[in-house]
Amino acid sequence: MQKKMISQRLERVASFVPDKAKLLDVGSDHAYLPIYLVQQGRIEKALAGEVVEGPFQSAQKNVAVHGLTKQIEVRLANGLAAFEAEDQIDTIVISGMGGRLISEILENGRAKLGSISRLILQPNNREDELRSWLVSNGFHLLAEDILEEAGKFYEILVAGAGQQTLTEQEKRFGPFLMKEQSPAFQLRWQKELKKLEEALARIPEKNELERSAMSKKIESIKEVLHVSK
């Protein structure tokens, strides 16, 4: 049986899946992640959910090619509708989507989240909105990670049931990421800082409100990166 190779991004997502987890991978992208985890012996079974017929069929074929149809079931369903109580799912992965869409998927399936011990979320943008949704709906962050792949930065949010309060700064930058100050984190926000400073230089002096708003964004990044003014 061919061993599945996955991207660094998915490999990092996989690292947060507990051993023996009962996994649902939403928007599974050819079922790459569950195939990898089963082949690694990390999990025994998984569900892969796809909402569109084409990706659903692609995932089914990929699971069959790897000889894992008994371990991985692909379901055509929207979001968390891909699992029922009898599936005993305890871990959900949603990766490679916008933060707002991930929040909407969780919101629409909120009634099913009571049995979930871990959410592993990899938004492509709007990470602040996703953090805000989590802490507003009875979840707290357990871990965060950030990586750069092919010139893009990806954040991974790991959450479990529990109460947490985040400041606006923590929602934007991530409490764990701010504390760890990894090279990828610093590089991401240094690039953003440079982009905003260049944008500020193009705003006419007479546009005081616009310049003030931009300056506040710049100062917030400098504060997190501990850059002297």
pLDDT confidence of residue 15:
98
Please report the pLDDT score of residue 193 as a whole number: 98
Which residues lie below 8 Å from residue 39, measured CB to CB, with a gap of 6+? 1, 3, 4, 66, 68
The architecture (CATH level 2) of 8-165 comes to 3-Layer(aba) Sandwich (3.40)
The string of DSSP letters for 30-79 reads TTHHHHHHHHTTS-S-EEEEESSHHHHHHHHHHHHHTT-TTTEEEEE-SG
Side chain identity, residue 193: L
Domain boundary assignment for the chain: 8-165, 186-225
pLDDT given for residue 218 in this prediction: 97
Q: Contact at 8 Å (CB) between 82 and 92?
A: no
- Residue 2: predicted pLDDT: 60
Quick one: pLDDT at residue 4? 64
Residue 213 to residue 86: CA distance in whole angstroms: 51
Task: Report pLDDT for 13.
Answer: 98
Phi-psi region at 90: left, alpha or beta (left = phi > 0; alpha = psi -120 to 50): alpha
pLDDT values of the chain reduced to their tens digit, one per residue, 229 residues: 566 679 999 999 999 999 999 999 999 989 999 999 999 999 999 999 999 999 999 999 999 999 999 999 999 999 999 999 999 999 999 999 999 999 999 999 999 999 999 999 999 999 999 999 999 999 999 999 999 999 999 999 999 999 999 999 999 999 999 999 999 999 999 999 999 999 999 999 999 999 999 999 999 999 999 986 5
Cβ atoms < 10 Å from Cβ of 183? 9
Task: Please report the pLDDT score of residue 160 as a whole number.
Answer: 98
Measured in degrees and rounded to the nearest 5, phi and psi for residue 145 equal -145, 160
